[in-house]
Amino acid sequence: MYILGIETSCDDTSAAVLFNNRVLSNVIADQEVHRLYGGVVPELASRAHQQNIVPVVDTALKQAKVTKNQLSLVTYTRGPGLLGSLLVGSSFAKTLSLGLGIPLVDVDHMDAHIFAHFLEDEHQQRHPSFPFICLTVSGGHTQIVRVNNDRSLSIIGRTIDDAAGEAFDKAAKIMGLPYPGGPVIDKLAQEGDPFAFSFAEPRIPGFNYSFSGLKTSILYFIRDQLKTNPAFIENNKADLCASIQHTIVDILMKKLVLVVRESGIKQVALAGGVSANSALRKALSEVGTREGWEVFVPRLGYTTDNAAMIAVAGHMKYHSGYRATLDLSPYTRQHAD
Ligand code: KG4
Ligand code: ZN
């Protein structure tokens, strides 16, 4: 069956067409407008989604060489995300499914990041089998999830404050780097020494994360250095990026190891925007070899927000017999929050 996916939870308008789990197109229009403000401005995001949604869906259909009448299923992100942005995608998806007389399936954005592992294209065919552990790291959420099967996911650990992506973005902002900071830090860190500077790691018991202390520690450290050397950031940019990245990855991996050891599960996956990070991917592979895990990282095009992951997650829900009704409203926070 041909499936349309629609993702508008934050600042990327995306539409994808799948043939079962195979990606035929995955169009992403990112919104330049937010760069001026160093972060996403919700009102501007929903307006840009309104402008983008029709051309983006149209382009996705054209690239896939599929007409709207060939579609059998419409899937969309119901939440979590920005309310105005979610409303644009959900209204569009509902209208289209109603107009075409085909079923509709709503998808949870964080679950979709995980199910991106089940997408198939010429580069990606291998996927984890149930149950597996997934470290889902995005701009808004950080979770360690036990994926029991395609309908049952248990969150074992989560951040109690900032998400890992937020830690990257806020650290970048402190250094005066552009938004979103994660990919910029990743790039600059390639030339830096990860052990040049050290930052305090949180001591949170159990499987939960905390990243707000790290942000404060980076802020105070840089502020103190600037007092004696106004060019401190400029002169140490690569080392700062490498050290910050190393600390975030270290925090993420330590808890993941604890959870995986306790679970006895040996299949471990990464998902979400931060899973694009080269140091995190490398750490997973090294730790995985040491611990005897079989590791899975999504292909780079499917790490940050995209509609292909929405379509595959929706397709899996559809197969389990689920159908959405038109009265569903978006949710801004994660279910269990
Ligand atoms: O999953 P995502 O696209 O959006 C949300 O659902 O939030 O994640 C976006 C986050 C941002 O914080 C961004 O800085 C981060 O993913 N990110 C990265 C990299 N690429 C994206 N962080 C570190 N290294 C990267 N290469
Ligand atoms: Zn996301």
Confidence (pLDDT) at 94: 98
Distance in Å, CA 246 to ligand 2 centroid: 22
Distance in Å, CA 274 to ligand 1 centroid: 4
Among all bound ligands, the one having the nearest atom to the CA of 244 is 1
Least confident piece of the model among 109-118, 229-238, 305-314, 328-337 = 328-337
Distance in Å, CA 232 to ligand 2 centroid: 33
Task: Compute the average pLDDT of residues 7-33.
Answer: 94
Q: Which residue has the least CA distance to atom 6 on ligand 1? A: 138
Beta-ladder partners of 152: 149
- Asked if residue 79 has its Cβ within 6 Å of ligand 1, the reply is no
Distance in Å, CA 139 to ligand 2 centroid: 7
- Rounded (10°) CA dihedral 310, 312, 317, 323: 60
- Asked if residue 80 has its Cβ within 6 Å of ligand 1, the reply is no
Whether residue 167 is predicted with pLDDT greater than 90 in this model: the reply is: yes
- Asked if residue 112 has its Cβ within 6 Å of ligand 1, the reply is no
Task: Compute the average pLDDT of residues 1-21.
Answer: 96
Among all bound ligands, the one having the nearest atom to the CA of 138 is 1
Distance in Å, CA 175 to ligand 2 centroid: 24
Q: Do the strands 71-79 and 104-108 form a parallel or antiparallel pair, or are they unpaired?
A: parallel
Cβ(133)–Cβ(265) below 8 Å: yes
Confidence (pLDDT) at 35: 80
Least confident piece of the model among 22-31, 32-41, 93-102 = 32-41
Q: 272: pLDDT confidence band, cut at 50, 70 and 90?
A: very high
What whole-number percentage of the chain has pLDDT above 90?
91
Q: How far apart, in Å, do the first and last CA atoms of the chain sit?
A: 35
Q: Do the strands 71-79 and 267-271 form a parallel or antiparallel pair, or are they unpaired?
A: unpaired
Q: Which residue has the least CA distance to atom 14 on ligand 1? A: 182
Distance in Å, CA 69 to ligand 1 centroid: 35
Confidence (pLDDT) at 40: 85
Q: 34: pLDDT confidence band, cut at 50, 70 and 90?
A: confident
As a whole number of angstroms, the distance between CA 333 and CA 324 comes to: 19
Confidence (pLDDT) at 337: 42
As a whole number of angstroms, the distance between CA 168 and CA 211 comes to: 10
- Closest CA relative to residue 319, chosen from 158, 179, 150, 155: 150
Distance in Å, CA 304 to ligand 1 centroid: 6
Task: Compute the average pLDDT of residues 33-60.
Answer: 91
- Asked if residue 7 has its Cβ within 6 Å of ligand 1, the reply is no
Q: Which atom of ligand 1 is nearest to the CA of 245?
A: 23
Confidence (pLDDT) at 32: 80
Cβ(117)–Cβ(269) below 8 Å: yes
Confidence (pLDDT) at 335: 64
Q: What is the DSSP letter of 301?
A: G
Q: Which residue has the least CA distance to atom 23 on ligand 1? A: 182
Q: Which residue has the least CA distance to atom 22 on ligand 1? A: 182
Q: Which atom of ligand 1 is nearest to the CA of 81?
A: 6
As a whole number of angstroms, the distance between CA 25 and CA 299 comes to: 15
- Asked if residue 181 has its Cβ within 6 Å of ligand 1, the reply is yes
Distance in Å, CA 277 to ligand 1 centroid: 8
Mean pLDDT of the chain: 95
As a whole number of angstroms, the distance between CA 297 and CA 284 comes to: 9
Confidence (pLDDT) at 38: 79
Residue 97, phi then psi, degrees to nearest 5: -65, -35
- Asked if residue 298 has its Cβ within 6 Å of ligand 1, the reply is no
Residues with CB under 5 A from ligand 2 (ion): 138, 305
Distance in Å, CA 8 to ligand 2 centroid: 10
Task: Compute the average pLDDT of residues 295-310.
Answer: 95
- Asked if residue 81 has its Cβ within 6 Å of ligand 1, the reply is no
Q: 125: pLDDT confidence band, cut at 50, 70 and 90?
A: confident
